[in-house]
Amino acid sequence: MPAQVPKRLRGRPKQTDNDISIQQTIIYTASTLFKEFGYESVTLQQIGKKCGVSKPTIYYHFASKADLFQAAMTTMLQNVRKITARMLEEAEHLQDGLVQLAAARLANPHGEIETMMREAEPLLEEAQIRAIREAEHQIHEVLALHFKLAMEQKIFREEDPFFLAEAFSTLMLMGNREHDSEKYESERVLAEKIVHFFLNGVTK
Amino acid sequence: MPAQVPKRLRGRPKQTDNDISIQQTIIYTASTLFKEFGYESVTLQQIGKKCGVSKPTIYYHFASKADLFQAAMTTMLQNVRKITARMLEEAEHLQDGLVQLAAARLANPHGEIETMMREAEPLLEEAQIRAIREAEHQIHEVLALHFKLAMEQKIFREEDPFFLAEAFSTLMLMGNREHDSEKYESERVLAEKIVHFFLNGVTK
């Protein structure tokens, strides 16, 4: 994947491999801290300290904390999109792929992203919010693509595939709460229950 | 409903009707402010100013901000439980009751409660968290009761009714995001789509 060079770097020397790896380290560290403490309370100083780079180095890669937040969120969401695509493509049957995907997503709850967004949104620019929402939408696009195929194969009933993608993603929030997850033996068991419900609903 | 007199008031004069209405005004105002700005940033001073009571008056009714937060959250959740019970009891068919309930809940998204809880949890006492989670659980109890009946009537397949209650509640989060709700003509349309999905799943 070619690194996208932010506009403000135009005219600066081309990014080296080392630059890219530092950038990724900053993004990874920022993601971890934002997830744990939320957007507002984390400072660039904290992020720099934790990954051993100076604040000017962070500013070399990101114009602002909001910019770094955008990068952290879109990177997380792109990873979810990649996992979604891989698991659904590699599975022999859609159902198996969905169970695998659900188990993976329940283990890494996505709900925090929604919480972080609510907190950060008033402090972000319109374009930053749009970029993050777009990265989220791309997860739904992958799901919708596979659901559309299942409709063409008459496995699924006719329905807006994006509605179903959103329903599936929303159900992944069931694994979000610590006090609840104890009720199920494992993410795998909960994943199977959710996919069975997703496919069959509740009526006989 | 008799007003529960907090322990710390023991020995003080019995609460009058006026006390109860002031208490409810404080709770209502606090709910609105916590929903809008989150737990941490709202002060008792702000709450008092907005509903026209002094800080000592708030402290007469609530031992602390955390106590008032607990009251605000459990009151909101108790209202959801009451609406759930009423709509499911009054409907001729479970499906109609679920659509009505979904439309009501989508119009008043419950997702904020989860976001507020995440933010507030580190600042609450164990007993306060438990009380709020218990109020939430009682919503699931009402749903589970009706789902269990539907299983006995062979309308629903056999499944843990609490799992289904949680799945239903989680799906209510689909109405949570402003940018998404524009996609559907109304809460009623989305409610019908969700309930149809809940009952039938996605397969043909």
Which ipTM value was assigned to this complex? 0.82
Whether the pLDDT of residue A44 is over 60: the answer is yes
Give the pTM. Answer: 0.84
B87 Cβ under 8 Å from any chain A Cβ:
no
CA distance B32 to B69: 11
B201 Cβ under 8 Å from any chain A Cβ:
yes
**Inter-chain touch B156–A200, beta carbons under 8 Å:** no
**Least reliable range by pLDDT among A2-11, A103-112, B118-127:** A2-11
Nearest to A174 among B170, B179, B201 (CB): B170
Shortest CA distance from B193: residue in chain A: A163
* Residues A39 and A119: beta-carbon distance below 8 Å: yes
CATH topology of domain B65-200: Tetracycline Repressor; domain 2 (1.10.357)
* pLDDT in the model for residue B110: 65
Chain A residues lying within 8 Å of B115, measured CB to CB: 114-115, 118-119
- Which of B9, B29, B116 shows the shortest CA–CA distance to A115? B116
* pLDDT in the model for residue B1: 46
- Which of B79, B87, B18 shows the shortest CA–CA distance to B53? B18
CA distance B37 to B39: 7
Which region holds residue B124: left if phi is over 0, alpha if psi is between -120 and 50, else beta? beta
**Inter-chain touch A157–B118, beta carbons under 8 Å:** no
Shortest Cα distance, chain A CAs vs residue B28, angstroms: 22
Which region holds residue B201: left if phi is over 0, alpha if psi is between -120 and 50, else beta? left
Chain B residues lying within 8 Å of A93, measured CB to CB: none
Whether the pLDDT of residue A185 is over 80: the answer is no
Nearest to B193 among A157, A163, A199 (CB): A163
Better pLDDT: B180 or B93: B93
What is the band of A173 on the pLDDT scale with cuts at 50, 70, 90?
confident
CA distance B138 to B131: 11
A69 Cβ under 8 Å from any chain B Cβ:
no
Q: Work out the average pLDDT over A162-167.
A: 95
CB-side neighbour CA atoms (13 Å) of A159: 26
* Residues A189 and A175: beta-carbon distance below 8 Å: no
A147 Cβ under 8 Å from any chain B Cβ:
yes
Shortest Cα distance, chain B CAs vs residue A91, angstroms: 18
Burial environment of residue A36 by CB neighbours within 10 A (0 to 12, 13 to 18, 19 or more): exposed
* Structure tokens given for B39: 């737990």
Better pLDDT: A80 or A111: A80
Whether the pLDDT of residue B147 is over 60: the answer is yes
Chain A residues lying within 8 Å of B156, measured CB to CB: 202-204
B54 Cβ under 8 Å from any chain A Cβ:
no
A111 Cβ under 8 Å from any chain B Cβ:
yes
Give the DSSP letter of residue B64: S
Evaluated on CA atoms B64, B66, B70, B75, the torsion sign reads positive
Name residue B156's beta-bridge partners: A203
Shortest Cα distance, chain B CAs vs residue A59, angstroms: 29
Helix ranges, chain B (H):
17-37, 44-51, 55-61, 65-90, 94-107, 111-120, 126-152, 161-171, 178-181, 187-200
- Which of A137, A196, A142, A154 shows the shortest CA–CA distance to A171? A196
* pLDDT in the model for residue A110: 65
* Structure tokens given for B171: 């799906």
CA distance B160 to B189: 28
CA distance B68 to B62: 6
Instruction: Please name the residues between 22 and 41 in chain B that touch chain A, using a CB distance below 8 Å.
Output: 38
Which region holds residue B38: left if phi is over 0, alpha if psi is between -120 and 50, else beta? left
**Inter-chain touch A193–B147, beta carbons under 8 Å:** no
* pLDDT in the model for residue A1: 46
CA distance A69 to A66: 5
A154 Cβ under 8 Å from any chain B Cβ:
yes
CA distance B61 to B5: 9
Name residue B203's beta-bridge partners: A156
**Least reliable range by pLDDT among A121-135, A170-184, B159-173:** A170-184
